[in-house]
């Protein structure tokens, strides 16, 4: 693999919590333009790995490289600024702001994630065009001027995806993008992620194998913190080790 084709690479990435190894010497390689799923039984270390990649946890050992640069131990804000955007499972939106205002605030803050810092409407007006493009990308342009507090769950998740896109990220980390959704919202979200993944690199965690099979070019299966298998969805789906890992849950 040409090194420039690798957006993210970890070497021996390890996280130990008081003697318990939650992430165990993980070597991960995420190629540019691919959608890469992280799966595994409960407790496999997926969330911890995501927290390491986005800087919310510091590794006990091992390294993380982004675009060939060592980013091990960087703060979450720095990592976001470098172009790794994480969309959260837990909603972080403000009920009284419209969808457009959320995007304008995100676009108008130096790190792209500081929409907590209020800016004057006038200064933010110059971001309206880009805000509307991003909302259009997630299918929410017609809801732009509604307060987010009125949105259904799936609509809030779409706004959160647009906020992650506002960073113009080289890598998107999506933490259980379909968690808590009914079948219809799941299918809508699959279509949405497929759309935003065009020309982008995405790593996501999801328990729903229909979602993984529909979206992922590559799948890494974790078990007890370590990589059990890596491959295409069909390769991992039929791997006896994976079947045993899930049946043993
Ligand atoms: P997953 O997301 O795959 O379900 P997690 O990364 O949440 O797995 O957890 C992996 C393991 O690490 C679990 O056994 C969990 O109990 C443990 N763990 C996670 N965070 C902590 C923590 N802050 N302190 C101690 N143990 C933790």
pLDDT digits (tens, 9 = 90+) for 143-160: 999 999 999 988 998 999
For the ranges 118-122, 123-127, 137-141, 230-234, which has the lowest average pLDDT? Answer: 118-122
CATH number of domain containing 69: 3.40.50.300
Sort residue 233 into left (φ over 0), alpha (ψ -120 to 50) or beta.
alpha
Residues 131 and 147 in one domain: yes
110 lines ligand 1 (CB under 6 A): no
Whether residue 50 is predicted with pLDDT greater than 80 in this model: the reply is yes
Edge-to-edge order in the sheet of strand 6-17: 20-31, 6-17, 61-66, 69-70
Inside any domain, residue 124: yes
- Residue 215 and residue 190 in contact, taking contact as beta carbons nearer than 8 Å: yes
Distance 180 CA to ligand 1 centre (A): 20
Question: What's the pLDDT band for 17 if we cut at 50, 70, 90?
Answer: very high
* Ligand 1 and 42: CB distance under 6 A: yes
ipTM of the complex: 0.97
Range 46-70 average pLDDT = 96
- The residue segments making up the domain with residue 74 are 1-83+169-180+201-249
Our measurement of the distance from residue 25's CA atom to the centroid of its chain's CA atoms, rounded to an integer in Å, reads: 21
- Specify the pTM: 0.89
């Amino acid at each position: 693999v040409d090194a420039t084709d690798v957006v993210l690479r970890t070497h021996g990435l390890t996280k130990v919590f008081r003697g318990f190894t939650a992430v165990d010497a993980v070597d991960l390689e995420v190629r540019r333009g691919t959608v890469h799923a992280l799966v595994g039984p409960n407790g496999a270390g997926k969330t911890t790995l995501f927290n390491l990649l986005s800087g919310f946890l510091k590794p006990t050992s091992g390294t993380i490289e982004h675009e060939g640069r060592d980013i091990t131990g960087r703060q979450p804000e720095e990592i976001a600024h470098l172009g790794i955007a994480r969309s959260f499972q837990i909603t972080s939106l403000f009920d009284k702001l419209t969808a457009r205002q959320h995007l304008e605030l995100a676009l108008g803050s130096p790190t792209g994630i500081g929409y907590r810092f209020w800016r004057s409407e006038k200064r933010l007006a110059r971001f309206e065009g880009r805000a509307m493009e991003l909302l259009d990308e997630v299918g929410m342009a017609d809801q732009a001027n509604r307060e987010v507090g009125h949105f259904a769950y799936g609509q809030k998740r779409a706004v959160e995806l647009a906020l992650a896109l506002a960073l113009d990220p080289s890598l998107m980390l999506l933490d259980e993008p379909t968690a808590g959704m009914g079948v219809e919202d799941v299918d809508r979200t699959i279509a949405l992620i497929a759309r935003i993944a065009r020309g982008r690199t995405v790593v996501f965690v999801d328990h729903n194998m229909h979602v993984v099979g529909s979206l992922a070019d590559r799948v890494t299966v974790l078990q007890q913190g370590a990589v059990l298998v890596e491959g295409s969805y069909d390769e991992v789906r039929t791997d006896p080790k994976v079947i045993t890992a899930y049946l043993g849950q």
